[in-house]
Amino acid sequence: MTSAEFRILSQMLKELKTEMRAIKQVVDTKIEVVAKTVMDAFQGFGILDPDEDTWTETQVCDRYHVSRRTMYNHRKEGRIAYTRSGSGRNCMIRYRKADVMELFASERA
């Protein structure tokens, strides 16, 4: 290989390296945007932290304009998961937001 060929080859490698860095920066930026979008979506549906993203039965009834009896029927028929704290009339029933959204989305479909 002559010195002229070596210089040309070296220049081409430098250009390729610069192009690869630019492509990597674009891909990294796009990955960050997609990751943020996915994380926001997961948090919005209560998937990342189910204890933090829950609604009480009253909140669900108010938001979706359904009665407590309707929610009881959904629980009784196993259509929605829930947690109960306390007992009797003083118990607190909570639902994961993601489960509530899924239930009412499937009902309206």
Give residue limits of the domains in the chain. Answer: 1-44, 54-108
Q: List the strands of the sheet with 92-96, edge to edge.
A: 54-56, 92-96, 83-85
Q: Which amino acid is at 53?
A: D
Q: Where are the alpha helices (DSSP H) in the chain?
A: 3-44, 57-64, 68-76, 97-108
pLDDT of 79 reads 93
The predicted-structure confidence for 61-107, as pLDDT tens digits, reads as follows 999 999 999 999 999 999 999 999 888 888 899 998 889 989 988 87
Q: Report the CATH fold assignment for 54-108.
A: Arc Repressor Mutant, subunit A (1.10.10)
pLDDT band at 40 (very low <50, low <70, confident <90, very high): confident
Whole-number mean pLDDT of the chain? Answer: 87
pLDDT of 25 reads 94
- The predicted model scores a pTM of 0.51
pLDDT band at 47 (very low <50, low <70, confident <90, very high): low
